[in-house]
Structures are given as C-alpha cells and as structure tokens.
Amino acid sequence: MPQAISRQLASIIDQIPGACGCKDEHSIFLYANQEFKAIAGLRPDEPIAGLTDFDLPGDMAVHAQTFREQDQYVLERKTPMTTFNVYRMKCARINAFLVTKKPFVDLETQTCGVLFHLTDMSALNTGLLGPYRSNAPRVFNDLDQPGGVSYVIAGGDTDLDITRREYEVLFYMLRGATAKRIGDFLSISSRTVEQYVTFLKEKFNVLTKQDLIEKAIQLGYYYVMPESVFRTVTRPPAAHYPRHEAVSSLHSVRGGVRESRPASR
C-alpha cells in the first residue's frame, strides 16, 4: 500500500470543486474525492488507495497508459501539465475532460507525487466542440481512433518561439484544412494564413509545406491543442510562448496513435 496522505490534505481535496485526487510517484492512487470516484466507476464506499489507472472499473481504464505517462512527465520535469481528453465511452457518448496535473509534496507525511483535477466538459460539447463539427475542419475525426485522444494544451512546452496564431494555423493544417478553410474559421485572409505557414516553415527549418506537416507530426505537434480553443475571444492578440522543453518530449504523454495525415494544398 502507498503511504497515506495527511488528513489535512485529504480534507482539502474533499473540498475542492470538481473531481480531484492524488497519486504517488509510481502513479498509485493515494486519495480521491467522491466526484472522481464516480467518474472512475467506483462506488462511494469503495477505497481507491492502492489502485492504479489500470485497476479502475470504468471506461477510463482504457487510457491508463497515457495517464501514467503524463504523470511521469509532470514528476520528471517538475512542471504542471494541462490536457484535454476527449473519448467515446462504451455507450457511444462523448466524454470530455480538462485535466490539470502538478507535482505535490505533503509536508506532514513527506509523501510526494501528482495532484490532479478534472473539469467535466462533456455537458459543454455543444458549445465547445460543436463549432469544430460544423464550420471548421473536422478536428475531432481523432475520435475515430480506439480509446479517443488526449491533447496537450499549448502554453509553453516548446523550444520553438511559436505564436498563438501560428499554433492555430498549424493545428488545423495538420488535419488537412486548406488556407481558405483556416482563414474562414480564424477570420483572417488566406494570404495571411500562407504567411503564417511561411513563418512556421522557417521555425521548423523545412522548405515545403509537406515537410512542415511531416516534421510537426514527428515532433508530436499533432496532439498539441491551441490554448485559444478554450477562450471566448475570437481573435486574441498575438502572444509568444516562453521557451521551454521541446514538444518532441511529449510523444509519450499524448493519447491516440501518431500517424501522418494528408493535407490539402
């Protein structure tokens, strides 16, 4: 059994709105509130301490390996991570969760591990995901993959100085959208989109658009989602993300299967 956390930390987790809990450095559950246990498929009286993601009785166990790899990413780099997990349940219902993980240390027991929090976005599918099924490129064709997909929210883990708008253009371009299609969705001209593509080719050190697509997928950018997806502002001001670790290190922490996607020119 993993070392228990303090009563004080357990009380805080119980009072945090939404699904919340913590695991030790081996991704073994230490504690979780009732909201998370319900999502995970556990009864209120069932203990979660000592279980792993593989032991969960609900549909979330399908994604156990991805969750554990994300835990290790957070622990090894001592940095928070936010992901957007979208997947189909056995009942064919789409579930979506915004998940934040960060390292923690329980000072009373000296237990360390990962603190996690889930925000259930499933009820907001119409408002949040609906636009992508209608007037935008078919972003969530990714759901056709067995088990769904886990996106890393872009916000810093890259060694390339990529702007928010460049992230948006790259995200849709990797899914086969034309410059006109991307421009219509982002409310910019197709010529402006092509300028962003030129900037991206320079930053990725490639000569052609196809080379850009292949290299971006190889480095793991297919499963990096623009932070602006969760913003209500249609045209946010350009911003540069700070330089950090290469996104290529995120290969093992994103869900789904990486594969080359054809792009419309």
Q: 7-126: what fold?
A: Beta-Lactamase (3.30.450)
The two tokens of residue 140 are 């969530």
- Which of 1.20.1530.20, 3.30.1660.40, 1.10.10.10, 3.40.30.10 is the CATH number of 154-253? 1.10.10.10
Residue 178's CB: how many other CB atoms inside 10 A?
16
pTM over 0.85? The answer is: no
* Sequence spans of domains, the chain: 7-126, 154-253
- Residue 147's pLDDT is 60
Q: The dihedral of CA 36, 97, 106, 13: what is its sign? A: negative
Residue 32 pairs in a beta bridge with 21
Check: CB of residue 94 under 8 Å from CB of residue 69. Answer: no
How much is the pLDDT for 250? 52
Residue 19's Cα: distance from chain center in Å? 17
CATH topology agreement for domains 7-126 and 154-253? no
Ranges of residues in the chain whose predicted pLDDT is under 50? 125-140, 156, 232-248, 251-252, 256-265
